[in-house]
Structure 1
Amino acid sequence: MTDADCAAVAEIRVLGWRSAYAGLMPQAFLDGLSVEEGTEQLRERLARGRAGAVDLIAERADRTVGWACFGPARDSDVPPEEAELYALYVHPEQYSTGVGRALLLECAARCTAAGRPRLRLWVIEGNTRARRFYERFGFVPDGAVDPQTVGDTPVPEVRYRRDLT
C-alpha cells in the first residue's frame, strides 16, 4: 500500500465496518465513521511506519477492492516470533468473490516464508460471517477474549490462531 491507496483503503474499511458490524455496534458510531479521517490516519501511519507491518491491497480492473495488514504479534501472552493479522477488509460489493481469500492466503504465505510459526487475529464475537471465513482457513479460537465496548455496547473480541508450519 502506498500513500495513493489510502483513500480507497479508508473507504473499504468504513464500508466494511458498516456492513459487518451493523447490529453489533451502535448505529450512530458506524454512521460517524469518516473516510476522510481514515485516510489521514492511514497516511500518518504509513509516514511513521510500524516495525514489521506489511500492508497489502487487492485490485480488480484498476480499482482497489481489498486491504490486509499483518506483522508481529502484539499481545504480551503470545510468543514474539508469531504473527498477527491486524486487518482484513474487502469492499462489500466484492464479498464472496475470492478477494478476502487471496489476501488471507498471501498474508499466511508471507508469514510462513518469514519463519513465523503461527498467525493470530482478533474478530468480534458476534461477527459470524468473519468467524466462518477464518474457520474455513483453519483458524480456531485460542481461548482469549477481549471485552471491548463501543459506547455502552459490549463488543467482545475473540482471538483465533492458525499454525503455519
Structure 2
Amino acid sequence: MSPLVIRDARTEDADEIAGVHVRSWQAAYRGLIDQSVLDGLSITERADGWRRNIADPLPTTLGLLVATRDEQVVAWTSFGSGRDPDGLADGEVYGIYADPSAWSTGAGHALLQAAEQRISDSGYRRAYLWVLDGNERADAFYARHGWVEDGAIKIEERPQLTMSEHRRVKPLR
C-alpha cells in the first residue's frame, strides 16, 4: 500500500472530497437514515459546496485536511471553533469521513490526530464532535481514540431528514 499523505485541502480537491463524503454517508448511514435520502445525495452538488467552503471558509473554520494515497483523496476532516452555545470555548471536529475502501487503513486515525493537534495548537484545551445515533462503527473509532460521551444530545433538522446525535468530548492538553 502506498504511503498516506495528510495535507491541507485545495479547491481542486472538491470533487474528490465530495465523492468521499457521499460514498461514506451511503455506506456508514445505511439503515440509520432513510435510503431515499442516501440515494439522492449528489456528488456534483456537494463538490460545488466544497469549492465554496475551501475558497471562502467560515470564520470559525480552523482547517480542512485531506488524506491522500497515490494523490487521490481517500478521507477528509474539517474542524474549527466550537459552534454549540455550551461549547464555544472548545474546538470542534465538524466532520471526518473516509471512503469505504479506506476504512481500517489508518486514514481516519491520521486525520483525527492531525485535527486534534491543530485544534490544540489554536489554543483549545478540549474538543468535541457529534456522532449519529446508531453509528456503532464511529462510536468505537472515537472511543479507541479517547473521545467519551458527555451526555449531550441534539436533533438536527434538515430538509427530508431528522438526525439524532450524541456528543463526544476529549481533553487536548
Greater strand proportion:
2
Alpha-carbon distance change, 74 to 93 in structure 1, aligned in 2, over 3 angstroms: same
CA contact (8 A) 1:112 1:164 kept: yes
Name stretches of at least 5 consecutive residues in structure 1 with no aligned partner: none
> Secondary structure of 1:155's match?
strand
C-alpha displacement of 1:68 = 0.3
Displacement, 1:150?
Answer: 6.3
Superposed displacement of residue 49, structure 1: 1.8
| Distance in 1 separating the partners of 2:81 and 2:161 | 30
CA contact (8 A) 1:26 1:151 kept: no
* Residue type of the alignment partner of 2:77: A
Measured on the aligned residues, the alpha-carbon RMSD in Å equals 1.5
Q: Could you tell me which amino acid in structure 1 is paired with residue 50 of structure 2?
A: L
Aligned positions of 1:1-165 closer than 5 A: 1-53=9-61, 54-78=63-87, 80-148=88-156, 155-165=163-173
3-state secondary structure, aligned to 1:100: helix
Greater displacement, 126-135 / 140-149: 140-149
Question: 1:71 is aligned with what amino acid?
Answer: G
Question: Can you list the C-alpha shifts for 1:28-69, whole angstroms capped at 9, x where unaligned?
Answer: 000000000000011122233211411000011111111000
Instruction: Give the TM-score of the pair, scaled to structure 1.
Output: 0.94
Contact in 2 for aligned 1:10/1:42 (Cα 8 Å) = yes
What runs of 5+ residues in structure 2 fail to find an aligned partner?
A: 1-8
Report the TM-score when normalising by structure 2. 0.90
CA deviations on 1:126-163 (whole Å, 9 max, x unpaired) are 10000110011111111111123567775310011000
